Amino acid sequence: MTPYGPVAIYLAVALAAALLFTVLPGLMAQRKPNAVKSEAYECGVEPTSDVSGRFPVRFYLIAMLFVVFDVEAASFYPWAVQMHQLRVFGLLEMIVFVIVLGIGYAYVWKRGGFQWR
């Protein structure tokens, strides 16, 4: 179990620090509330409505496509770092990956996934 000692210490320190920073200010702070202080902390105009309102479902589509292509683009990095060691094999693997990615891109494009409708 010895190799896990540092992990336990790390967890204990993280927990203590989190508790310290959340509990201590509440205990030590002086409270003199007034109308201006009680406003929501926002830059610019006053919020006029609840933030958790509804918004159109097409945002989700864009968000989903962004996440998919973002994560896939991120998988280029490990290959790029190791490109010289992986040689031709790595290049071929990446070409296959890009083809699959391209088919997905073409599919979304043709089916109108990028149109704002």
Partner 1 sequence: MSPPIPYVNSADLHALLPTTVIAAAGLLALVVDLFMSAGRARRWIAVAIAAAGLVIAGVLTAQQYGHSYPAFGGAYMQGGFAVVLGEIAIFATLVSLGLGIGIGRDDQVAGTTAIVLWSTCGALLMAGAGNLMMIFLGLELLSLGLYCLCAMSVRSAARESGLKYLLLSSMASGFLLYGMALLFGGTGSVALAAISAAPPSPLIALGAGLFLVGIAFKLSLVPFHSWTPDVYEGAPLSVTAYMSVVTKAGALGVLGRFAYAALPPATANAILLPVWTVAAISMIVGNLAALQQIDMKRLLAYSGIGQVGYIVAAFAGQTPLGLRYAIFYLAAYTFMNLGAFAVVALMLKDADGSLGVGAFAGLAYRRPWLAAAMTFFLLSLAGLPPTAGFTGKILILASSVGAGYWWLSVLLIAGTAISVYVYFKIVRAMFVRVDEAHVRAERSTNPLPWISIAVCAAAVFVLGIYPLAPSDIIPLAK
Residue closer to partner 1 by CB (options 19, 107) is: 107
Contact 114, 108 (CB under 8 A): yes
Binding mask of the shown chain, residues 77 to 96, with x at each position contacting partner 1 by CB under 8 A: --------xxx-x-------
Contact 82, 90 (CB under 8 A): yes
Q: Which residues, including other chains, have CB under 8 Å from residue 46's CB and lie 6 or more apart?
A: 39, 40
Q: Which of 2, 4, 31, 50 binds partner 1 (CB under 8 A)?
A: 4
Tell me, what DSSP letter sits at residue 54?
-
Q: Which of 111, 112, 115, 116 binds partner 1 (CB under 8 A)?
A: 111
Residue ranges that bind partner 1, judged by CB under 8 A: 4, 85-87, 89, 100, 103, 106-107, 110-111
